[in-house]
Homo-oligomer: A and B are copies of this chain.
Amino acid sequence: MSSSNPIDFYFDFSSPYGYFAAEGLEDVVAPYNRTIRWHPILIGVAMKETGAVPLAGVPVKGDYLLYDCARLARFMDIPWTLPGDFPISTANAARAFYVIDDVDPDQAKDFARAVYRTYFGEGKNIQGVEAVADIADSVGADRGHVLDAIKTPEAKTRLKDEIDTSIERGVFGSPFVIVDDEQFWGSDRFWMIKRWLRSGGW
């Protein structure tokens, strides 16, 4: 079986492992001529369903995971700073992504990487509309358009629809990659995605 369907990449801007996935996934997929559709979502709804809690709130394990993030960033040679405000709601950044995506999907991916770099690379808060608009501006998007558009009912509905679809498709964590209906959860499953793409499935 081989396919040219796009690959779907679900992530929450407040997810550290989403950051690592955003830095690495395009390179993993590049040799296989498959487009990746990026879908920022708010993972809180799905996490509530599975009884999961944000890692920062978990004794022992939470500390390990934050340490693991620092180590992983070092091994990947990318910056890491645990944000002072963590976790946060990332609705504005997610809405801005889709606003930009409607104009220029590649620029939207640049925006997503820049949001992650700002939040987990520099440790700066990316919750507010002004912070989001600044990042949009930094990747060449129209700052004024983004500022206006993310406040519209359309932008809110678009994000809600993306979240609903993600839950229907079984997404319960971030990052989450779907290749031809095959699910891969976690930034440490890239070797499996590569193998899947190489072999066309099993």
Chain A window 168-186, contacts with chain B (Cβ cutoff 8 Å), 1 for yes, 0 for no: 0010110000000001011
Question: For the side of the interface on A, what is the size category?
Answer: 20 to 34
Given contacts A64-B172, A170-B60, A202-B74, contact A188 B185 (CB under 8 A): no
Chain A window 152-177, contacts with chain B (Cβ cutoff 8 Å), 1 for yes, 0 for no: 00000000000000000010110000
Of the 9-residue stretches A22-30, A45-53, A84-92, A130-138, which lies at the interface with chain B?
A: A45-53
**Interface membership of A1, Cβ < 8 A:** no
A75 and B195 contacting across the interface, CB-CB below 8 Å: yes
Count this chain's copies in the assembly: 2
- Chain B residues with CB below 8 A from A66, complex form: none
**Which single member of B50, B59, B72, B202 contacts A59 (CB below 8 Å)?**
B50
- Determine the distance from Cα of A61 to Cα of B51 in the docked complex, in whole angstroms: 10
A60 and B50 contacting across the interface, CB-CB below 8 Å: yes
Q: Which of A35-49 contact B (CB under 8 A)?
A: 46, 49
Enumerate chain A interface residues (CB-CB to B < 8 A).
46, 49-53, 58-61, 64, 67-68, 71-72, 74-75, 170, 172-173, 183, 185-186, 188-189, 192, 195, 202
Of the A-B pairs whose beta carbons lie under 8 Å apart in the complex, a sample of 16, sorted by A's number, is A49-B59, A49-B60, A50-B58, A50-B59, A50-B60, A50-B61, A51-B58, A51-B59, A52-B61, A60-B172, A64-B172, A67-B183, A68-B185, A75-B195, A188-B188, A188-B189
